[in-house]
Structure 1
Amino acid sequence: MFEKTYTAGENNGYGLGYNAAKDEKAAAAWANTPQGKMAYRLAQKGSLDSLIQCDRPGWTKKNGFCYPFQAPDGKIYGWTTP
């Protein structure tokens, strides 16, 4: 009885670990693509969060889209690109 319970627990743990490793492997594979490398460079420059959040001066979110507008100082702003 104890052996069956142990084996079931071990198999369940193995399955969970395998799924986590599979996800990490897929993420690492994507990170090595041209898009993944560009996203990493955006993150290094501090621009990825702003791109996602649309939170820089002169930019606003409307209906799920990020639009430029003239900021109160009369300028239109952007973010650093790789």
Structure 2
Amino acid sequence: MAGHGFPGPKQKYTVRYGLSPNAQNPFKGMLYNAFFNTFRRTRSQFLYLLIPFGSYYYLWNWANDYNQWLYTKDGRTTLLSYD
């Protein structure tokens, strides 16, 4: 009579085992998520990288141009006139 709307007796000692989806397929979406998480993290850190590298690039170009100018005739005469 348990199957026709009447509650049956409680079952004892019934154990149900299950396996989580992460345990079944631990690498599901790993490459997809790694790509987009890397993009998101890089985008959020963009200014922390852009400002120092931009400053370094500007300083490097200025020093290189100044060094090349010092090896011209005008640069040598200007440098010698300070003595």
Q: Give TM-score, length-normalised by structure 2.
A: 0.44
Bigger relative CO (Cα 8 Å, ≥ 6 apart): 1
Greater strand fraction, Structure 1 or Structure 2: 1
Greater helix fraction, Structure 1 or Structure 2: 2
Q: Give TM-score, length-normalised by structure 1.
A: 0.45
